[in-house]
A and B are shown apart, each in its own frame.
Chain A
Amino acid sequence: MIAFLIRRIGQALVVMFVISLLSFSIQDNLGDPLRELVGQSVSEAERQALRDQMGLNDPFLAQYWRFLRKAVQGDLGNSYFFKRPALEVIMEKFPATMELVLGATLIILLLSVPIGVYCAINPRSWFTRVMMGLSIVGISIPVFLTAIMLIYLFSIHLGWLPSYGRGETVMIGAWESGLLTWDGVLHLILPSIALSSIMLPLFIRLIRSEMMEVLEQEYIRFAWAKGLQRRRIWFLHALKNTLLPVITVGGVQIGTMIAYTILTETVFQWPGMGFLFLEAVNRVDTPLIIAYLIVVGLIFVVTNTVVDLIYGLVNPTVKLTRGLA
């Protein structure tokens, strides 16, 4: 276990190093950060002076070396726009994104398991057919379109839910939470639905097909033959084994969901990391872009590690029998 963790930490460091190198080397193609910092009529000489001052004219390796030296001390540079350490800015937005991901995850968990199981048990019912149809539609519609349709329906037409932002928030230590106020929860609903719209159909289909497979297995037939109760067979014996692969996929998908927050947060003006990132790209705020990529890389490594650990705990034999991890 300890050895496994140490190995993972080593891998994480390598991943982050590669990300930093990659993102550093594309920065020249992102555009000129000066353009977003100065007015239109500033002279070229003045621009050059500013570039010199910011160290943008130094050779690539010199810039990268300077970045690395600071990075090992936890300093990823100052954001041009926020004028503060990029890491600090990202950490401030982290709670907003995490609460959005949490909201979406809850929706996915609460809906996908019952629907998936129902569809597996009653493959021919009309509800199953409708769900399977809807899930195809759900997977195919882009997140931003879903989001805009939700806003038009629930905010403008019905006027039930707010259209943008996080609403009222409360500070719990350094964590800015919107979960503790009614206003904050209302603001969370639409973005969470929009964010879950891609993953929910995926999980319904995954659970359904896994469950159907499990129901065909010998030990389930044996259970039927033994005359066990239906509920006991479905929800205890079958569901348990269904959920194992779901955990793996789920862990990986949480990382992917963080990527999807970029779109959701932009449409809803949700003040999280994803929106921050897109804005940073538009403003060519290079230090912020690099810091975001490194942080997200880290989140991926951490979630995968946690999933592997949980996986080992839940069923140590699974790794041997199935090579899904």
Chain B
Amino acid sequence: MKKTLAIAAVVLLGLNLSFGAAAKTLRLAYDADPVSLDPHEQLSGGMVQLSHMVFDPLVRWNRETTFDPRLASSWERLDPHTVRFHLRQDVKFHSGNDFTANDVAWTFKRLKTSPDFKGLFQPFKELKVIDDYTIDLVTTDPYPLVLHMATYIFPMDSKFYTGEDDKGNPKDMLKKHADTFASVNASGTGPFIVSKRQQGVRVDFKRFEGYWDKESKGNVDEIVLTPIKEDPTRVAALLSGDVDFIAPVPPTDLDRIRNNDKVDLITMSGTRIITFQLNQERRPEFKDKRVRQAIVHAVNNEGIVQKIMKGFGTASGQQSPVGYLGHVASIKPRYDLAKAKQLMKEAGYEQGFSVTMMAPNNRYINDDKIAQAVSSMLARINIKVDLKTMPKAQYWPKFDERAADIMMIGWHSDTEDSSNFTEFLAMCPDKETGYGQYNSGNYCNKEIDKLILASQGETDEGKRAAMLQQVEQMLYDDAAFVPLHWQDLAWAARKGVHIEDIVNVMNFPYLGDLVID
């Protein structure tokens, strides 16, 4: 069965190639291909990128970090607990089924069972179907991020996923590391249909004829996605014309691509913050605010961005990037070696002390080099650092053990909202509630916890912004962690492929709207 399918696919592909002279094909190279076709199996950048190709969300982010209508054409808040969405009526799934409110309800129910999404959808009590094209999203408590979360609701074709597959398992079975129906079959409303998939080698997409968004200027008929893991090879494939569009672009090759007149480079300041956490439980010295401040003052993060990141990042003094509610414009990086020495002296550690530090070496851009730079910067205030770097696969278990005094962590807010940073990185660690799950510093300030919890129930944007900004200010004053920078994002494409119109700070290129000359 599989073999005949594969042969048929090869034949079809051959036919496509011979007829495809006029068709616009985008050859796309990412560093990895999607792990599954089931949008609920894993919450990762790659999976959301896939979801935007094969499915459509209710609403989606735009360049101004506000929301554009997609399958929901409009919405309004009925009361602090309820947001009503009006759905588009002219939408069909790839299978030909009509899209209705029942599909959204079905998808919502499935999201609530997904290990990766159920936490994010915790605040939601239910999804009420009012009529075929109207739904209410109801939250247990007043919740400000309903629209943020609606960007994760990619309605799936409930009829298509109902029944049993040929192994006798239910078609909607959601299981990691298992050969489920949904992980190899997909029917969404999105601009592209997966026509062929060879995991780890290539994924072929073709445009969905019945796509509802007739206003989209997108003119790509086919996409061939190839994962190219090695940075130099990915760049070489673009420069030699073997592919049209690559992401990510390694910082070492930015200049080469910028100076090449056959390709375009687009960069954007990103939202992933890179930090070091100072473990107060392991090191009594770090309990002293002055020591933490001294360390932050000793780390020249602007220098790191310039020298190590080659300008491919934005040095930061806080967690929230520009555009987030909690961003405080007045907080700047604060490198000042003299002040750092002064603070160490005041704290009584003029002679310094020795600490251990751990960082991954293949998770964030230049992570190991950054860690080396920081450890030599700390040497200048007499803190001797014993640094260990390791691949991420080994790093995360160490991080969970809190195995070193200073540990690196980068964070991208899944909700694209400030409170998510603090919730995971800086709230008092609590096994029961899961707050502070990645707070290896054990920094704990009840005041901040209160503010964050209050902000999660505050639907007035102005009041909420004030709370979140207060949190950033307190974290800054307390030197709760060592902020380094926000990683930039970069994409590159051959001239004539207008990616500048479709890329965004969330790093979900809206390929359905891509125009190729």
Contact = CB atoms under 8 A, between A and B. Distances in A.
Contact of B42 (A39, A164, A283): A39
A82 B199 contact: yes
A279 B393 CA distance: 12
A151 interface: yes
A266 B6 contact: no
Given A31-B396, A164-B236, A266-B229, A155 B242 contact: yes
A136 interface: no
A54 B177 contact: yes
A164 B233 contact: yes
B232 A148 contact: yes
A204 interface: no
Contacts of B227: 269
Main secondary structure of the interface of B (DSSP, over half): loop
A41 interface: yes
B236 A152 contact: yes
A236 to B, nearest CB: 46
A155 B10 contact: no
Contacts of B232: 148, 151, 267
Interface residues of A, number: 52
Interface in A276-292: 276, 279, 281-284
A266 B230 contact: yes
A209 interface: no
Contact of B226 (A80, A269, A276): A269
Contacts of A79: 177
Interface in A177-222: none
A165 interface: yes
B176 A37 contact: yes
A83 B115 contact: no
B145 to A, nearest CB: 13
Contacts of A268: 233
B200 A82 contact: yes
B233 A271 contact: no
A266 to B, nearest CB: 6
A211 to B, nearest CB: 39
Contacts of A174: 3
A73 B509 CA distance: 46
Interface stretch (A42-50, A62-70, A103-111): A42-50
Given A31-B393, A151-B232, A267-B230, A83 B183 contact: yes
A40 B391 CA distance: 17
A309 interface: no
B44 interface: yes
Contacts of B229: 266, 269, 275, 279
Contacts of B241: 159
Given A152-B236, A156-B240, A43 B393 contact: no
Q: How large is the interface on B (under 10, 10 to 19, 20 to 34, 35 or more residues)?
A: 35 or more
B120 interface: yes
A281 B394 CA distance: 11
Given A41-B424, A151-B236, A269-B229, A162 B44 contact: no
Interface string B207-237: 0000000000000000000111110110011
A163 B233 CA distance: 7
Nearest to A165: B226
B241 to A, nearest CB: 7
B516 to A, nearest CB: 21
B442 to A, nearest CB: 16
Nearest to B36: A83
A11 B395 CA distance: 38
Contacts of A45: 434
Interface in B1-24: 3, 6-7, 10
A275 to B, nearest CB: 8
Contacts of A165: 201-202, 226, 242
Nearest to A160: B240
A171 B118 CA distance: 42
A129 interface: no
Interface in B37-56: 42-44
Contact of A35 (B230, B396, B434): B396
A271 B396 contact: no
A283 B3 CA distance: 28
A39 B177 contact: no
Interface in A17-55: 29-32, 35-46, 49-50, 54
A83 B178 contact: yes
Given A40-B43, A164-B233, A164-B242, 19 more contacts: A29-B394, A32-B396, A35-B397, A37-B177, A38-B43, A39-B116, A40-B414, A81-B177, A148-B236, A163-B237, A164-B226, A164-B228, A170-B10, A171-B3, A267-B232, A268-B233, A269-B227, A269-B230, A271-B200
Closest 6 CB pairs of A and B: A31-B393, A39-B43, A155-B240, A39-B116, A80-B177, A271-B201
Interface of A: 29-32, 35-46, 49-50, 54, 78-84, 148, 151-152, 155-156, 159, 162-165, 169-171, 174, 266-269, 271, 275-276, 279, 281-284
20 contacts: A31-B391, A31-B392, A31-B397, A32-B396, A37-B177, A40-B411, A46-B118, A78-B178, A84-B179, A159-B240, A162-B240, A163-B233, A164-B226, A164-B233, A164-B236, A269-B233, A275-B229, A276-B200, A282-B362, A284-B393
